[in-house]
Structure formats: structure tokens, C-alpha cells
Chain A
């Protein structure tokens, strides 16, 4: 199905640029959005984060012209949105709202098919596309195609909502608190799946939320807003956590910035600790020498495929004269992979009796280890890296 493959690769994100955009609703004094400038790179997920009523939804709705700006320009893929017929413009921009907004009188397939039909696709192409999208969002097409929305759980409805938005493979996706009505477990699951989808699709996504954790998890960049859509800080999650622009941002983030930093950083991205280790056919004496040089009093025995097997103490090694594999010890316990976040790694550390947890790569092969010291080191590194980057940026701008 080469055409289907085309949908997947086509529709890659385009940049969006807001220039001096203002919105004053008739009959209200204060502008909902005041002189907003915002540049969104192609293929990035930008989160608009701020308290209720600060103008996030209004900002988003001006991008697809559901709300017309009072003044200013919005460029989508370099074209001024003013010059595009609003209905046509919206067919090229996926739109996902809270509680999905599925049409209750249409089946799941009918809902997803709306935009392709508006675009005049023939019915075979439409139904192929519907099945493809259902599979993409994790719903078995044969089971769900002909169901009505009210027969679906909240999470399933929102999956269909995402499928409907993606139907014609638009380069841009607007999502207004899409997971706000879901329970925490489903919310986390759909966030994960959005991240997975985005890795594959590389759309330009504008995502509105007031949930700090969601913003940090989803966003490549976050625009933190105050009333009137005034952007206080526009930066990556790591930079926002490491260096909040001002007191407002710091307060909005709430406590626990360091913990959040831990949940954003993956074990594979930090410098790992190394413990004394050897495969089980190594001479026990060699491993003992290594362990003594290290000074921590223990070593890790790997099997022939270099998978962690046992912790052995220097003392046990001292009494052995065969291979390392013959020395008695404790099982290696929990192993963590490179995709594990530092927060999860900490969790694993707290739940074992050991000071370190082995890290494994592909096929469970030993890659290193994580200890409290490693985590602390990683946080320091992240902080100083962000500090350097800011200094560089300020230097560039200032001189």
C-alpha cells in the first residue's frame, strides 16, 4: 500500500509564526491576547502553559481562525492565514478538543472520515485510511469501526479524536487540553502515545494545558503565559526547570523542580558509573584485584553473554581460587535500561539493598551502573550545561 505509506511520511510539520497578534473580544475592555509574538519551528511540539483565562485557547483558535485576530499576522508554512479561506485552512490543521467532541450520531469510522470526505476522497481510500488511523491510535479497526462514540470510554473517545484530527495528514495539529478530562492513568497513557506518534509523524503541534507536568512531558518547548497571553518564558523543559525566568515562573512550576528534572532525564543520556565486573569464566583472582583497586568491596559477575548475574563481595572473592562464576553471591536484582528516567532509577535504588543498580543495554548486556552519586552528578551537569547555554545566548544578544 504505497499510498498509505505516503500519508505517513507526508504532512510533516510546517513552521508557524505569530506576529504582533492581538485579540479584543467585542464588549470586553482588556484584550484576551495582547501583541503576541511567537515562532514555532516545524515539527516541534510547543506547549502553551498558563493559568485559566490567560488566553491560551484564544491564541490557539486564532491559528485556525475559529477566532479572528483583531490585529497582527499569523504565518503558517510561510503563508499568511488571512489569505486562506478559513474552511480550507482548517481542513489542513488537525483540531483536538477536551472530551474529544466526537459527533454522537456518527460511528467511529464516520467521525474519522469527515475531513477526507470534505476533501473529496473516494470511499475506498477513505475506509482504508480510517482503518489505518484506528490501528495507529491503538484501536482494533474491526472492533471499533462501527461503534458509536457513547459506547467508548473517555480514553478511547480521545484516541478517536486524535485519529479524526490526523485523518487527512495535516502538517499542523492544535490540541486544547485534550487529555484534561481523563483520569491520571489514561492521561499518562495517551501522553505516552502522543509522544510515540509524534516521533513518527513529526507534526507541528500546538498543545494547550494548565498542567505543569503534562507540559514538561509533552513539550519540546514551553511558552509560559500570563494574562493577555504575555509570554514570560519560552524555552525547553530542562531549561525552564533549571533556570526559571522569574518568580512567576518559579511559582507556577511549584516545588520539586529537581524531581521534575529527574523525570525528564533518561539514564541513557547521563554518564554512568562503572563497577568492577567480569564474566563468569574469568579467574576469581583477577576480579578480586579489580574490586580491591576500586575499593567498594563488591563486584558484578556477568554471564557469558555479558548479562549481569550476581553481586559478589571482595571477601568471598578472596576465598575463591576457581573462576568468578563459582563464587557465591547475591542475585544482580533489578536491572534498568537506557530509556529509564532518573526518577525511576532513583526509585529502583531505594527499593534494593544495594548502593548501585546495574544498567543494561541491548539484549540485557551490562552497560554500567547508577548510584545516588551518579544521579547527583547528572543533575549538576544538567544545571551547569543550561547555565552555560544561557550565558552564551545572553552574550550573543548583548554584545
Chain B
């Protein structure tokens, strides 16, 4: 059976798995973006605290994703829960780091001007600092999404949802019928999803980065 026939045969299942994969990644990144930006905002003015936040997230990074998923099984069992937790944790690091870098990169003279004309600290953050840091934060979210895509595939190891199942089941029965087709379909599917997400980010960038600071 050719790869094409394999895909055509299981169109509905593959589509379902792809949507599940995309939806899981999107939700995890959304949670990570909210939490990560908040953590960045809360700590960027205090270098020691923001350093702690980034390095904690960095330590998690050194744990291989497969190992982390394995460690989560006794706590959260199998399925969606450990997958979501693992992906979200990995997605946090680039977002926190880029939020801190983006906010600290805002010209202090501009913050000074904002406060000097009578903006409250909060308004200065919302109207001046975050919009100016946004391009950098968005890159962080984009990187986090790519990471989540890959870790989402590994999540099949704990019976998580998504296209990872195709890869794992293919690899498990290498030599058997359609084993290569299955693994390939999963891999290509994830790559296509990643490209689609990336295209979304280009669009989001266009729509949300103000003209005056767009590269």
C-alpha cells in the first residue's frame, strides 16, 4: 500500500488526530502564554527574581520530554492530563524569557516619558511597555508553539491525543504492514501543522504589531 493510499484510507481518523493535536497545542500554548507573560511582567523589574523564573523554567528544559512524561504518569495517570501539563511547562520557558527580555529592552527614556506625562505604572505597562515588547514576546510564543508541536508527538507515549499515535504505533511494529507509512504520516502531519501555525503567527504579527515598530 502506498503512502497516499494509506492516508486516503484513514482520512477521517487522521483528520481527527490532526485536529486533536492542533487543539491540544493551541490550548497549551495559550495557557503558557498567559502564565508566562504574567510571570515575566511580575518579575522583569527585579532582575534577581526574573533570573530565578527563567532559570527554573530552564532547569525543566534539561529534562528530556519522554522522561518528564514518564515522571508525570504516577501523579496524573495516562491520557490528556500529563500531556497538557508537560507541553505547557515546556512552552513556558521561551515565553517567560522573551517577555523579560522584551520588557527590559524597552528604552528607559520611553518609560520615563510615559510616567512623566502622567501615566500610572499600570497604564505605562499596558500602553507603552507591553506593546513595544510585543514583537519579542510573540517570537517567544512562536518558539513555544514549535516546541509544543514536537512534545505533543511524544505525548502519545502516555496515550495523549494527537498525531503522535501514528508515529508511535508505526515505530512499535516496524517491519509490519504499513509501519513506515504510519510513522511517516504522523511525522509529515505534524510538520504540516507546524507550518500552518507558523503562517498564523505571521498573520497575527501583521495584525497586532503596530506599524511604527514593525520591522
Query: Measuring CB to CB, which residues of chain A are less than 8 angstroms from any residue of chain B?
Result: 64, 66, 87-92, 95, 97-99, 101-107, 114-115, 118, 148-150, 164-165
User: Taking A103-B110, A103-B128 as contacts, is the C-beta distance between A66 and B212 under 8 angstroms?
Assistant: no
C-alpha spacing A106/B213, complex, angstroms:
9
Q: Is the CB of A118 within 8 A of B212?
A: no
Cross-chain contact B118 with A91 (CB below 8 angstroms): yes
Q: Are B110 and A66 in contact (CB under 8 A)?
A: no
CB neighbours (8 Å) of B119 from chain A are 87, 114, 118
How far, in whole Å, are A91 and B117 apart by their CA atoms in the complex?
6
Cα separation A115 to B119 with both chains bound (whole Å)? 8
A104 touches B116 (CB 8 A): no
Chain A residues with CB below 8 A from B114, complex form: 103
Query: What residues of chain A lie closer than 8 Å to B213, measured between beta carbons?
Result: 104-105
Q: Is the CB of B118 within 8 A of A118?
A: yes
Nearest chain-A residue to B135 (Cβ)? A105
A70 CB to closest chain B CB (Å) equals: 19
Given known A-B contacts A101-B112, A104-B212, A106-B212, A87 and B120 have beta carbons under 8 A apart: yes
B169, chain A: closest CB distance, angstroms: 49
B118 near A66 with CB under 8 A, answer no
Query: A105-B210, A115-B117 given as contacts; is B128 within 8 A of A66 (CB)?
Result: no
Contact between A95 and B212, CB atoms less than 8 A apart:
no
Find the residue from B116, B118, B211 having the highest chain A CB count within 10 A: B118
Cβ of B117: which chain A residues have Cβ within 8 Å of it? 90-91, 95, 114-115, 118, 164-165
> Chain B residue with minimal CB distance to A99?
B109
For this complex, 15 residue pairs linking A to B, each with C-beta atoms less than 8 Å apart, are: A66-B112, A66-B115, A89-B118, A90-B115, A90-B117, A92-B118, A95-B113, A97-B113, A101-B112, A101-B113, A104-B110, A106-B212, A114-B117, A118-B119, A148-B211
A97, A98, A99, A103 pick with most chain B CB within 10 angstroms: A103
Query: Residue on A with the closest CB to B108?
Result: A101
B131 interfacial contact with A, CB 8 Å? yes
B210–A101 CB distance below 8 A: no
Number of chain B residues whose Cβ lies closer than 8 Å to a Cβ of chain A: 19
The reply to whether A95 and B116 contact each other, CB–CB distance below 8 Å, is yes
Interface of B is mostly: helix
Chain B 115-138 residues near chain A, CB threshold 8 A: 115-120, 123, 128, 131-132
The residue of chain A having its C-beta at the shortest distance from the C-beta of B116 within the complex is: A95
**How many pairs, one residue from A and one from B, have CB atoms within 8 Å of each other in the complex?**
63
With A97-B112, A103-B128, A105-B132 known to touch, is A90 a contact of B212 (CB < 8 Å)? no
B132 adjacent to A87 (CB under 8 Å): no
Bound together, the chains give a CA A66 to CA B116 distance in angstroms of 7
Q: Which residues of A contact B115 (CB under 8 A)?
A: 66, 90
**Residues of chain B lying within 8 A (CB to CB) of residue A104:** 110, 132, 212-213
Chain A residues within 8 Å of B116, by CB: 64, 66, 90, 95, 97, 101
Q: In the assembly, what is the distance between CA of A66 and CA of B132, in Å?
A: 22
A395 smallest CB distance to B (angstroms): 44
By a CB distance below 8 angstroms, the chain B residues around A66 are 112, 115-116
The listed residue with most B CB atoms (<10 A of its CB), out of A64, A88, A106, is A106
The residue of chain A having its C-beta at the shortest distance from the C-beta of B109 within the complex is A101
Distance of A302 Cα from B1 Cα, bound (Å): 111
- Compute how far the CA of A217 lies from the CA of B32 in the bound complex, rounded to whole angstroms: 57
Please give me the residue from chain B that is nearest to A174 by CB atom. B116
Please, how many angstroms separate the alpha-carbon atoms of A261 and B199 in the complex? 67
Which B residues from 199 to 215 make CB contacts under 8 A with A?
210-213
- Chain A nearest CB from B59 CB (Å) reads 32
By beta carbon, the residue of chain B nearest A90 is B118
B-chain residues with CB within 8 Å of residue A165 when the two chains form the complex: 117
Specify which chain B residues have a CB less than 8 angstroms from the CB of A64 in the assembled complex. Answer: 116
Q: In the complex, how many angstroms separate the beta carbon of B185 from the nearest chain A beta carbon?
A: 44
Q: Which residues of B contact A164 (CB under 8 A)?
A: 117
How distant is the Cα of A47 from the Cα of B123 in the complex, in angstroms? Answer: 32
Pick the contact of B109 from A89, A91, A97 — CB < 8 Å? Answer: A97
Q: How far is the CB of A179 from chain B (nearest CB, A)?
A: 16
**How would residues 144 to 171 of chain B score, 1 for a CB under 8 Å from any chain A CB and 0 otherwise?**
0000000000000000000000000000
Minimum CB–CB distance from B130 to chain A (whole Å) comes to: 10
Q: With a CB–CB cut-off of 8 A, which chain B residues contact A91? A: 117-118
Chain B residues with CB under 8 A of A95: 113, 116-117
Return the contact of B212 from the options A92, A114, A149 (Cβ within 8 A).
Answer: A149
From B116, B119, B120, B123, residue with most partner A Cβ within 10 Å: B116
